[in-house]
Chain A
């Protein structure tokens, strides 16, 4: 039977380096994609991704398994993301209903093969995802990549459940429109 994330984190807090390696193996892909598809530039995304894990390492002594480890991990990721957006002069909440500035999405430009291969529908979907307001995109990515529920999304992002639910619904609605164009 697989050891729960929370137990691994407690073991790591107690000094078990192997527990951290296992946690990292489990969550690295989802977290990396969450960050990569939230941030426009790969370089910035990787920097942010590393900062998030370093925060996890720093905060290990304060970790208490009051919630799922995943929720705790993505709370840290959300906070780092907010810091990142603030540095760029953006505010997550105020942009809740606004589209992101129309720029070529970094995620799409990072995967030019999608376009080159003629997978236009995927490119459109990626562009629609990149064009979502940050809060809505975050809600969708948290839902898809980490499997968080609406309540857990609300907790990780510091919003109430209604707001989290609304963001997710709007995000899904816009992405569905991109699908309908196919």
Chain B
């Protein structure tokens, strides 16, 4: 019996890999866009005049308050009722970006606030413009400080792509579901295998980001080894 279930996984590996690739593509595009928008909007919230910070704050509050599933349904089913048809894959990307950006703004904003004001004063005293100060002095430090929080958000987003299954995006979870409906006896093993694939993905991303964090650590800021 066990062999039969293993068979149903092995026979479907190419089918699962297609789903896995969609999951990865969905993750990479969404993370990249959400990171870009997150940084820009965090800068906007800290360094621009009203009403821009207030509007960003409003956006943040709204999208942190909505479940991802609701955002997906609104974009896919809600808009299509109004005659705006977005393909499921793109609706998923838009939904994930809108959702993750709202969270990521906080990550970068806390990093911005952690940088001593004096460094900005010093850069301006050298004759740097405000934008040069942000680009050369603030941003490189913000990115370093944001890696731990960002790696959290990265893994959350990766796992959230599975919700895109609900609007019909054929990603890993959707493929897993298709296999279990064809092999109802194997449901536990197939799901465990899917879970294992997600875990491996998340684990390797975290290892990679750990490396990134060490690589860009500023000398002299090593953690103490004292007990």
Q: Do A and B come from one complex?
A: no
